[in-house]
Structure 1
């Protein structure tokens, strides 16, 4: 849920904001025409660009190791690999263990789509210290993201207005306004990013990763994909099954769903997370400050959103907390149990007429920093989704589906249903109803599903296992809360993942961690 017109399978990294000069552009192909032979020029990382979120250069690792960055050339158009190239931003930290124990590179994609791996990997590196003993940790900004020829759409001021709009229209006039605003945004993307828009499909990024594997000098791609990164990993395995090394998919997207089914699944997932949050709050011996019972908590939230539609309250001045911003902020807080205390605080303040905390949560989801600058996560998210997904939904279609979405989630149903119009009049046709991830002949892929995941519901893990094909995937279940399992720091999950990535030990299929 990245913006009022397009839900997303969220990255784990919302809220990371960094700053510097924007880098983009095309160059001609390598002189010898063989991009696999290029040598990466690793240097200390610059401060992240505005499109990456801004901020300072990544801090050294605890042992003093500096993060290093490089730019890899890749074909702009994979159907014409000898033509123009684009630069893809990479980051790495060398393995910390003995050289003789090094396995190779471990490539991360943290999701989105649209999240910057260059800013995310350093922020979460402590969680992967065990993996760094035998791998160089590597991530990248996928094409269209961050410093990799970023998709540009609207200005910061225009985005402030975009995220304030009414994303749940109640009458024909409001529906028309939402559709016109969506067309305006999508038209700005075409105007400012015409060169890159046709080339940001997940299949393009998967081919970039195989080039990356070769340039990094690895015989196999060792991979850790989270959220949308699981879809990217599945597409890679489909295209290059013999080149898959040790791979882990965490917070797994259901690859069999079309966008409508995915949005409905997210409605159910976020409602489940909200139910769990409300029960947790009211079960505390100290009492719940936002409701007497779980149902009371949810009823008061629903009333708040209804009141905000009629009359927004002060947020981060001069902006007001609208119904849309509050819904977005609540969703952001449901991604991790660690954020539940902020949701409680934000709701307490909102009931007293102060919308700042909920707006901060919403800004975090949308990639807005304290200076009012936006990363390009929303633009990239929409560009990638609309290029990947073939269906184009109309307001009439959404209207027919509203009862089903409201039944799935009284709070989030309308919001996610209306998000389906986000690709209206998109400049590039969508590729397919859903990705093909069948990967016969691939090495084992560890698929980790979390029973309480709001953004990528647990059922998707089993669907991914089946879609990858017989004998490929091994499913691991984590009975927990939040988006993803490994970063929950559950020892059972981490031991299973580390055992596979570090030692090649495949967990017993059907293993359950609690």
Structure 2
């Protein structure tokens, strides 16, 4: 659940698939003897007016670590001014293990996750025949990763920002959160110039069409997870005739406004927390002997931190905000529930907050030296607020909207409600807000939804599949964020068959636990 201004839209912990995998010790299984990738040649297709030079680029691939190849593509900062400033997109290609027939473009979500890293990660999970057929390519979106970065707050200032109370209760706390959002937005504009106003989903989708053409692909084959589904669906809506085999795993519903999206996430994370607690109670849990007792313990723990943060031997504080993210990050995958249990045991029984701090660091890509490895925690604000800010005033949101959030989730509701408020304060206006998609005329698009997904509630996948003219829904019954590679053979086989030979799953396919 990446923070969309307290924690909002697109809540897919930036590259959460990667951070959770790292926490669980998942290693890359890429072959060192993968065949050398061939030189990419542009398609030579008719480019949109003014963008001819961008579509005619040639990529100079170079060898990089792990048997992959890396390259760059140049795109305009502002598509309404293609002769103006440009940015560079960094790409990573993991060559097919057989005779590559096409390219599979991938994105892990966030927004703000590194698609280059995800290319490595997903390549280790895809079925054998899929890997034989496809080069897997991850393109770090504009502003993200090794692409021209969005530069906002420095590490020290961002560290202070994320330690703020995500659910402020006093006027001073409210002012601190609101001022922090404005300061971040102003820092983005001051340090990144025009790019700060041009990192929207629509612009990233247009970037991918340039990359598609530059790599010689007539169609875009796509695997997008979480926010990567919004990016893929946006591309399909803009370029329906260019859609190849597209998988949208853990769908976002682009027809919802920012308030309804965040409210859905509050409900989703509450459901996930209750699933974790039921499992914990059944095994014997430090939180209590019943669901309600355990929920009360969690609420009391957060309230305790609100009043007085816990301090480690090194002097670092566990605030309510950091504990909030430490809980949230573990709910993305059932396999990580044991980390949450260990964190509660250490904090409640030994007065040791260190595990919660480690989990919060995983959430924000922070290392032991206090440095943020990526800018994902700030990019998410910029993208989400450009994609759509609430039309209500901050005062109206606080008065009329926050009570709905707190009712939906006593633990997560307040923070997610304040997350909506953040975009109301974001100082940079958008020229490309998001809206409903249909992708009329596109080839079949497969949407995968998980019934107890905390970050992208199942109802969103249902809605996305229904909105897309050619949408097909595959359901995974179970816990955790996204469906492919989560241990359900039915889902994996259906997606593999679709990617390998174009076999479209039956619309409404349900894969049980």
**TM exceeding 0.5:** yes
Residue 81 (structure 1) aligned with residue 82 (structure 2): yes
Among candidates 104, 107, 113, match of residue 106 of structure 1: 104
Q: Post-superposition shift, 1:385?
A: 0.9
- Contact 1:316 1:359 (C-alpha < 8 Å) held by counterparts: no
Looking at structure 2, the residues matched to 433 and 69 of structure 1 have their Cα atoms a distance apart, in angstroms, of 32
SS of the aligned residue for 1:317 comes to: coil
Change (3 A) 1:316 1:268: farther
Distance 2:432 2:274 in 1: 34
| Paired residues for 1:32-431 under 5 Å | 34-45=53-64, 58=65, 60=66, 66-97=67-98, 99=99, 102-130=100-128, 131-284=130-283, 287-315=284-312, 317-351=314-348, 352-374=350-372, 375-391=374-390, 393-400=392-399, 401-431=401-431
* C-alpha contact 1:166 1:178 (8 A) present in aligned 2: yes
Shift of 1:2: 3.0
Give me the whole-angstrom Cα distance separating, in 1, the residues matched to 2:447 and 2:313: 40
Counterpart contact for 1:453–1:483, Cα < 8 Å: yes
Distance (Å, rounded) in 2 between the aligned partners of 1:161 and 1:192:
19
- Displacement after TM superposition at 1:190 (Å): 1.5
Residue 180 of structure 1 and its aligned partner are, at CA, apart by 1.6
> Partners of 2:125 and 2:314 in 1: how far apart?
36
Q: Which consecutive unaligned segments of at least 5 residues does structure 2 have?
A: 24-50
Which deviations, in whole Å up to 9, do the C-alpha atoms of 1:383-434 show, x marking residues without a partner?
A: 1111111425543223222221111101111111111122244343234664
**CA offsets 1:436-474 (integer angstroms, 9 cap, x no match):** 3211110000110000100000000111012212xx011
TM-aligned CA distance change 1:236 to 1:33, over 3 Å: closer
Cα distance in 1, alignment partners of residues 19 and 189 from structure 2: 25
Task: Please give the per-residue CA displacement for 1:318-363, whole angstroms capped at 9, x wherever unaligned.
Answer: 3211111111110111111111000000011111311111111111
Tell me if the contact between 1:183 and 1:424 (Cα under 8 Å) persists in the aligned partners: no
Query: Whole-Å Cα distance in 2 between the matches of residues 219 and 200 of structure 1?
Result: 25
Q: Is the 8 A contact 1:182 1:424 kept in 2?
A: no
What CA distance in whole angstroms lies between the structure 2 residues aligned with 1:389 and 1:479? 31
140 and 317 in structure 1: CA distance in 2 versus 1, 3 angstrom threshold: farther
* 8 Å Cα contact 2:451/2:476 also seen in 1: yes
Conserved 8 A contact 1:76-1:84: yes
- Of 66-75 and 124-133, the range deviating more from structure 2: 124-133
- What does residue 55 of structure 1 align with? none
SS at match of 1:112: coil
Q: Secondary structure at the match of 2:126?
A: helix
Indicate conservation of the 8 Å contact 1:144/1:380, yes or no. yes
Residue 446 of structure 1 aligns to a residue whose secondary structure is strand
Give distance in 2, aligned partners of 1:509 and 1:129. Answer: 22
Give the aligned partner of residue 54 of structure 1: none
TM-score, normalised to structure 2, is 0.89
How far residue 195 of structure 1 moved from its aligned partner, in angstroms, is 2.4
1:119-153 Cα offsets, whole Å, 9 max, x none, are 23223431125321100010011001112111111
| More displaced stretch, 32-41 vs 372-381 | 32-41
Q: Which residue of 1 aligns with 2:11?
A: 9
- Matches of 1:155 and 1:428 in 2, distance apart? 19
- Tell me the matched-pair count: 476
Does the 8 Å CA contact 2:394/2:424 hold for their aligned counterparts?
no
CA distance in 2 between partners of 1:316 and 1:262 (Å) = 40
Q: CA 1:74/1:37 → structure 2, altered by over 3 Å: closer, same or farther?
A: same
Match of 1:479 in 2: 477
Please identify, of 116-125 and 249-258, the stretch whose mean Cα deviation from structure 2 is larger: 116-125
CA deviations on 1:162-220 (whole Å, 9 max, x unpaired) are 11112211122221222122222222111111221122111111111111111111111
TM-score in terms of structure 1 length: 0.89
For residue 223 of structure 1, give the secondary structure of its aligned residue in structure 2. strand
Partner SS, residue 385 of structure 2: helix
1:316/1:402 CA distance change after superposition, 3 Å: farther
Question: Which secondary structure does the structure 2 equivalent of 1:143 belong to?
Answer: coil
What is the rounded CA distance, in whole Å, between the counterparts of 1:426 and 1:38 in structure 2? 35
1:451-507 Cα deviation digits (max 9, x unpaired): 0100000000111012212xx011110001101000203110000000101011111
Question: For residues 332 and 421 of structure 1, what CA distance do their matches in structure 2 show?
Answer: 22
> Residue 326 of structure 1 contacts residue 362 of structure 1 at CA under 8 Å; is this kept in 2?
yes
Q: Which runs of 5+ in 1 are unaligned?
A: 18-31, 46-57, 61-65
Take 1:295 and 1:334, find their aligned partners in 2: how far apart are those partners?
Answer: 18
Quote the Cα distance in structure 2 between the aligned partners of 1:511 and 1:40.
Answer: 40
SS at match of 2:499: helix
What is the SS of the residue equivalent to 2:18?
Answer: coil
